[in-house]
Amino acid sequence: MAGIGFRLQHLLRTGTYRGLVAAYGYAAFITAGPWLLSICAIYILSLAAAGCDIGRGEALLFRTIVVYTYAGTLILTGLIQMATTRHIADRLYVNDVLSIAPCYQWMMIFVSIASGLLAGIFYATSGKNMATTLASIALFQLVAINWLGMVFLSAAQDYLAIGCAYLIGLALSVGMATAGGCIYGLAGLLWGFVIGQAALVALLGVRIRVEFPSNRGLDSGVLHRWRETPYLAAVGFFYNLGIWIDKILFWHGPRGHRLDGWLYIAPEYDTCMFLGYLTVVPALALFLIRVETGFYKHYAAFFGSVGQGGDLRAIMQVKRNMANALRLSAARLLKLQGLVTFGAWLAAPYLAHAADLPLYIIPLLRLGILASFLQALLLLLLVILLYFDWQAETAALAALFAACNAVFTSISFFLPEQYTGMGYLCACLFALVAGLAVLERRFAGLEYETFAKQPLLS
């Protein structure tokens, strides 16, 4: 996503507060748009429900279905997101722009069928009425397509249109869900939210067609890339599974309870973790605009120097420049996000009050804030590792994160209540430390590895 980061930097060069706010606002939408939209929508709808005749039980069911939707779609699409990103990058590298939109259309059909089957099996056996079941399946399909659309739009240029699409989607989701919920209850909430998500899918689809015009038919060439890059599928799947495995264990563990059918919840734990995620949006935005773009310049210079036959002394200097740029950018990110995280940690009592959480939950909220900070750093580290195409190591780290989160969270069930959430925190820390060790070891031999991979010329 460095390309769109470079374009957002043009707003920063205006030197105005408006440009600053716009750049980081668009970056937040681009990096965290779908789940940021849903968290905001759920919060607004919970306030709107108080003014309607929507029962607390129905409102909680709606929230749970949305959460399950995002968990399931992230894990499902994680299998193809990174390999698809690689395919798009390769097509753009050879200037095959005409294949992008046809590829999106083919994948939209594929994802719609796969997600529809998965959601259909789950909700058809959950005991819901037909209207609620169909709305839940449709929502699952639309959110999965939204994740797919963001993969393609990471190469787009019109960030203003993307931001407007999300705002329109948020407004329609909230407005239609509120109106539908006041009249038809849970089914109305879901169908109203579905309408907003459908509008977002349509707007993002139009944006892709405008950015990448083509008169070709459906293109299934991405299948070849999926078969070639199993490690990328593992990275996406295990990282997203790692994000959700502690929540899934809490839902079905001793501190969760059955809400309805197959739906289990642990509302206090979920709310604390989601609030923690909101605090790391600045880190994601800064990475897109500053860290990734700054690193990419030196990254491109290094491999360009190697490819153009530069001498070893010049190549080593470029490598040192790349390492220095990465350290400086990481330090800037740590300072900014560290301040945000520390401020959120101090403000935990006020955040708990705003989210209508009991005061005894504040320690868990603070753990969620700290763990989210570490998880954001882990995500950014994985992105850097993938720049160097160290796919096997990145997949191993993602699997380590998921396994550690599952094991440590399970262990925490047997510990006193004050250790709730510690499993997620420890998993993020453990995987982050392991990832830094991998980066340091592999980066030390980067020039040798790069030369060794060059084709022999006769």
The predicted-structure confidence for 55-77, as pLDDT tens digits, reads as follows: 677 778 888 888 899 889 989 99
Examine the fold and report which residue of 166, 201, 228 is the final residue of a domain before the chain moves on: 228
Task: With respect to residue 401, please indicate whether it lies within any of the assigned structural domains.
Answer: yes
Tokens of 9: 């930097």
| pLDDT at residue 456 greater than cutoff 70 | no
Q: Tell me: do 280 and 410 sit in the same domain.
A: yes
Q: Tell me: do 290 and 436 sit in the same domain.
A: yes
Q: Tell me: do 224 and 291 sit in the same domain.
A: no
Q: Tell me: do 130 and 204 sit in the same domain.
A: yes
Q: Tell me: do 192 and 328 sit in the same domain.
A: no
Q: What is the dihedral of CA 159, 163, 164, 166, to 10 degrees?
A: 140
435 pLDDT tier (thresholds 50, 70, 90): very high
**Which residues have a Cβ under 8 Å from the Cβ of 177 and sit 6 or more positions away?**
41, 45, 62, 188, 189, 190, 192, 193, 196
323 pLDDT tier (thresholds 50, 70, 90): confident
Q: Tell me: do 126 and 18 sit in the same domain.
A: yes
Give me the count of residues in the chain: 458
458 pLDDT tier (thresholds 50, 70, 90): very low
Q: Tell me: do 282 and 221 sit in the same domain.
A: no
Task: With respect to residue 120, please indicate whether it lies within any of the assigned structural domains.
Answer: yes
Q: Tell me: do 220 and 280 sit in the same domain.
A: no
Task: With respect to residue 18, please indicate whether it lies within any of the assigned structural domains.
Answer: yes
C-alpha distances in angstroms, 214 versus 100, 108, 139, 217, 362? 8, 16, 29, 9, 53
Q: Which of 174-183, 318-327, 405-414, 415-424 has the highest mean pLDDT?
A: 405-414
The predicted-structure confidence for 205-243, as pLDDT tens digits, reads as follows: 888 888 888 888 888 888 888 888 899 999 999 999 999
Least confident of 45-49, 125-129, 246-250: 45-49
| pLDDT at residue 8 greater than cutoff 60 | no
Task: With respect to residue 261, please indicate whether it lies within any of the assigned structural domains.
Answer: no
How buried is residue 116: exposed, middle or buried, by Cβ count under 10 Å (0-12/13-18/19+)? middle
The more confident residue out of 326 and 118 is 118
Largest CA distance in the chain: 79
129 pLDDT tier (thresholds 50, 70, 90): confident
Task: With respect to residue 73, please indicate whether it lies within any of the assigned structural domains.
Answer: yes
Phi, psi at 126, each rounded to 5°: -95, 0
CA angle 356, 243, 85 (to 5 degrees): 125
Percentage of the chain exceeding pLDDT 90: 28
Mean pLDDT in residue range 19-31: 59
Q: Tell me: do 224 and 285 sit in the same domain.
A: no
Examine the fold and report which residue of 173, 196, 228 is the final residue of a domain before the chain moves on: 228
Q: Tell me: do 218 and 312 sit in the same domain.
A: no
**Which residues have a Cβ under 8 Å from the Cβ of 366 and sit 6 or more positions away?**
345, 348
Task: With respect to residue 210, please indicate whether it lies within any of the assigned structural domains.
Answer: yes
- How many domains in the chain? 2
Mean pLDDT in residue range 342-363: 88
- SS3 state at 59: helix
2 pLDDT tier (thresholds 50, 70, 90): very low
Examine the fold and report which residue of 212, 228, 244 is the final residue of a domain before the chain moves on: 228
Q: Tell me: do 299 and 222 sit in the same domain.
A: no
Task: With respect to residue 216, please indicate whether it lies within any of the assigned structural domains.
Answer: yes
C-alpha distances in angstroms, 145 versus 110, 142, 178, 204, 246? 10, 5, 23, 10, 25
For tokens 């259909």, what's the residue? 120
Alpha helix positions (H), 154-266: 159-184, 186-211, 222-228, 230-252
Tokens of 18: 């408006």
Task: With respect to residue 437, please indicate whether it lies within any of the assigned structural domains.
Answer: yes
User: CA Rg, the chain, in Å?
Assistant: 22
Q: Tell me: do 199 and 325 sit in the same domain.
A: no
| pLDDT at residue 265 greater than cutoff 60 | yes
CA–chain centroid gap for 352, Å, is 24
Full residue range of the structural domain in which residue 69 is found: 2-228
107 pLDDT tier (thresholds 50, 70, 90): very high
Tokens of 208: 């892709």
